[in-house]
Structures are given as structure tokens and as C-alpha cells.
Amino acid sequence: MLLFVLATGLPPFDDATEVDLTLHMVQHVVIIVAGVLIAYPHYGRRLLREGRKGPIPAASLVASAVLVVYWHLPGPWDEAVLNPAVHFAEHFSFLAVGLLAGSWLLLLSDSGKVGALLAAFFGHMAYAVALIAPWNAQVYTLYSLSDQVTAGWVLLLSGPTLVVGVAYVIARNPDWLAGLGGTVGKTGQRRDTMFNRARLPRWAAPALTVIFVATMVGYFAVTAYALGTAGPAPAGGSTVYISETPISWQYSPQNITVVVGVNSTVTWVSRSIAYDTVTARDGSFGSGTIPPGGTYSFTFTSAGAYQYYCIYHPWMTGTVTVVGGA
């Protein structure tokens, strides 16, 4: 459970996944591993000992595959970044995959285990090739093409690791290759496998707790320093704060009026612990990613009403009304 909290509840890591595609994928893997570590000691071992039969293992495999594929489609992926509720659902979907992998999926037939492992490998490699495809198609609109290609190469280069892992698991369980219809628990006995012998070291939970507390303290200390030492806005301009409080996460003030040539240079100053953007809806200006304590300035030269928002937190909206100097 601590590993799950580390992967989803630490602002420096969870916020970084909004702007780094590779870290976002790593987060999914860590959440699945956390689910396995939760389910196997408390439920998976008992299932293996009892050798239960029935349709649940196959249904669990289908459900896991559907969840993994669905959340990697462009639409759901981008929506999970933009919508906190969808983001929450995404995290718990991958936790559910880990819980199934640490329990019911262990009861798949031997051929089913081999098939699942090989399907995971080929799916992993195909996904990597899709991200680095030579036609330079941007799969995820919230991430740059270069970030997408980097993630693809990371996946592609990690493929051999999966091959070694699959080979190791099969080597430790050679019966998996014997017969295509064998079912775990057929003889009512529990086989001596690496899964049965696995034990979580006693020092793991205290170590993760120390890492969690130290990271939280360090992150908030660095963030407080960054917020406290943010440079002042240029003289003769206007300032908008990106403000985050327990009850509000918004631009402050949301709507301002400036005069061309008088105070038309607007500076946005981050007072947020997360990454944010200032992005015009008409594309006339954009800050890119603003880190905690960062600033962004833009000088308006034409009269009009300019609406903007934060890419990562779409509920954050604002308007700059620009009037002529006369």
C-alpha cells in the first residue's frame, strides 16, 4: 500500500507524470506492482494452496487486458491527465490489474500463463513501435512528439528485459510448457514455484515509509523556497498569481483589464505546488510548463478579450481584457 501511495500521492512524481510521458508509463507499472504486492501475500497464496477451479482466472485475464489497453488509448489517456476524477479512476484501474495479477491470474492454466506472458511482451513491443513510428504521428496531444518518441525508445529497449523475465519464469516452472490444457490445482497439490516462496522482507515497509516521509518533507521544503524566492513582476506591468490553497486552485485575479502601453505586460507568478500553464484559447500566447515558483510574462499590443486556461488543470481559467491607450 505504501508503494501505491508513493506512486500516486507524492506531488513531485504525480505532477511530473503530467508533463513527462515516460514517467507516466512508469507510474502505471509501479501501481500494478503495488497491487501484486498487496494481493499475493493476503489472497494469492491461499488461492494457490486451494487450487480453485472455475472461469474467474480467464475472466480476470480478459478484464486486465481490457483495462490496460483502454487506458493507453489516446482519448482516455489525455482525459486522465486533464480530469482529476478520471485520473483517480485510472490509478485504481491499474491497481485492480495488479490485484488480479497477484491473485486470480495465478490460477490460469499453464498454457494460459505462457500465452499471457507472450501477449504482454508482443503488446509491449508493438506499443513501443507505434510511439516511434516513422510517420511522426502524435498519439497523445498533451505530450510533445519528442517526448512520445523518447517513451517509445524506453519501451523498446526495455523489451529484452521482458524476454529475460519470461524465460526465467518458464525455466523455474518447466511444467508450464508441458501440455496445452493443464490446469493448476488439477491434482489438488500446490507446486513449489517462485511465487510460493516469495516473501516481502520485513525492512521493506519501514524503508518505504522513511522514503515517503523524507520525499514529502524535502519536496515541500524545496517548493516553499521556490515560492518564497520568486522574482518580482516587471515594473509598470500587471501581475496574476497562480494560487493554490486547500479550497481554491485558480488564477488570481481571474479577470483583469490592462491598457496598451501602460500596464499591458502581464506576468503570471506561480504560487502552486504543481506544474501549470498559461495557454490562450486562440493560440496567441502560451507559457509552456510553469514549475512551482516560476513566472511567465507576455506583452499585449492589440485590444481585445483574451481567454486562457491551464492545460493540466482545465478548471483554471482567466481573461485579460486589453483596451487601447487612448
Considering 141, 176, 198, which residue would you say is the last residue of a domain? 198
217 within a domain of the structure (yes/no): no
254 and 186 housed in the same domain:
no
Cell 517509445 belongs to 152
Instruction: Give the per-residue pLDDT at 113.
Output: 76
Return the C-alpha cell found at 41: 501475500
80 and 183 housed in the same domain:
yes
Instruction: Give the per-residue pLDDT at 181.
Output: 44
Range of the domain at 112: 2-198
Instruction: Give the per-residue pLDDT at 51.
Output: 73
Instruction: Give the per-residue pLDDT at 132.
Output: 86
Residue 56 CB contacts under 8 Å (≥ 6 apart), including other chains: 104, 107
> 10 Å Cβ neighbour count for 231?
10
Q: Do 295 and 270 contact (CB within 8 A), yes or no?
A: yes
148 and 286 housed in the same domain:
no
Cβ neighbourhood burial of 213 (10 Å; 0-12, 13-18, 19+): exposed
204 within a domain of the structure (yes/no): no
147 and 245 housed in the same domain:
no
User: What does each of the 326 residues of the chain score in pLDDT, given as a tens digit?
Assistant: 767 777 776 666 777 777 788 888 888 988 998 888 888 888 887 887 777 777 888 899 999 999 999 999 988 988 887 777 888 899 999 999 999 988 888 888 777 777 888 888 888 888 888 888 777 788 888 787 888 888 888 888 887 777 776 676 667 666 655 544 444 444 334 445 555 555 667 777 677 777 767 776 776 676 666 666 655 655 567 899 888 765 567 898 899 999 998 888 999 988 887 888 999 999 999 998 888 888 999 999 999 999 999 888 878 899 999 998 65
Task: Count the domains in the chain.
Answer: 2
Closest CA to 320 of 287, 272, 275: 287
Instruction: Give the per-residue pLDDT at 200.
Output: 62
Considering 176, 198, 220, which residue would you say is the last residue of a domain? 198
101 within a domain of the structure (yes/no): yes
CA atoms of 118 and 14, how far apart (whole Å)? 30
47 and 187 housed in the same domain:
yes
Instruction: Give the per-residue pLDDT at 177.
Output: 58
Instruction: Give the per-residue pLDDT at 248.
Output: 65
